[in-house]
Structure 1
Amino acid sequence: MSLIKYNPAKSRTQGVSRFFDDIFNDNFFNTDLSLERFFIPQVDISETEKDFELQFALPGFKKSDVNIDLNNGVLTVSGERKFEEKKDEKNFHSVETRYGSFSRAFQLPDNIDDEKVDAKLEDGILNIVVPKDVKKIQKKNIAIK
């Protein structure tokens, strides 16, 4: 079996494809509901022997814009970024940055130490470290009867 490199330029029919691209990329289909601003931040989750680490991409956020809750093993990170329209005679031609509110929830395993969770927001990255509880990590070997 051989792999064939995908080339979107060769796979499109020029006229019809461009027509549909222009329609669907336009604001023609926007309704009041679709104009509501929201976004879902990207999250990287990793694990070591000692802890779990979650890294949220939150460019432009301040500490006061983010809320972190840990309740019954569910870690919830929520926040809001507001669009500030400054009256400095700036005409926007395009705004691709997402604004609005978000909420992400993660069910954590039972072997965490919820008293030592640490969170830092630096350079647009929210880093949350959830340490594992050493007492709960120990494996138990069960003998077969």
Structure 2
Amino acid sequence: MEDPLSYASLSEDNGVNYRRGRTPWEIKEGEQEFKMRFDMTKKDVKVWVEEKMLVVKAEKLPKKKPEGEVEEWSSKSYGRYSSRIVLPDNIEIEKIKAEVRDGVLYITIPKAKTSSRVLAIDVN
């Protein structure tokens, strides 16, 4: 589950740019926001923004077996995961939302409103 080479950037001009490694998430870009999807549960994941980067970290610990019980296969996967995604300048960091629904982490990254208003500047 751990992939130290996972790295991507979101940009207005080019959409999603993958740098190195695999990307264990899905990203969709809309007119007003970026949407991301990860297969993780709430108790396993932490999300924060640090220096214009969205950081997603998770750790699944193996289930403890009762003493004396022998299990040939583990019932669930476990390991560590960490990704840093470079955020573009045109987003509203304070309005980023993360929620888990049905074992899936959804992150919404709203784009900042851009003004297309033309303002004439007087030349003196």
Q: Tell me the TM-score normalised to structure 1 length.
A: 0.58
Structure 1 residues 54, 139: CA separation in 2 closer, same or farther (over 3 Å shift)?
farther
- State the distance in 1 between where 2:104 and 2:117 align: 34
Question: Post-superposition shift, 1:110?
Answer: 1.1
Which whole-Å CA distance do the structure 2 matches of 1:101 and 1:66 have between them?
10
Which has the higher Rg, Structure 1 or Structure 2?
1
Gaps of 5+ in 1: 1-37, 141-145
Give the alignment's TM-score, normalised by structure 2: 0.67
How is 1:1-145 mapped onto 2 (pairs within 5 angstroms)? Answer: 38-40=1-3, 42-58=24-40, 61=41, 63-87=42-66, 90-95=69-74, 97-135=76-114
Gaps of 5+ in 2: 4-22, 119-124
Aligned-CA RMSD value: 2.6
**Shift in Å at residue 86 of structure 1?**
2.7
Q: Percent identity?
A: 29
| Count of residues in correspondence between the two structures | 99
Deviates more, 1:85-94 or 1:100-109: 85-94
- Larger RCO (CA within 8 A; separation ≥ 6): 2
Greater fraction helix: 1
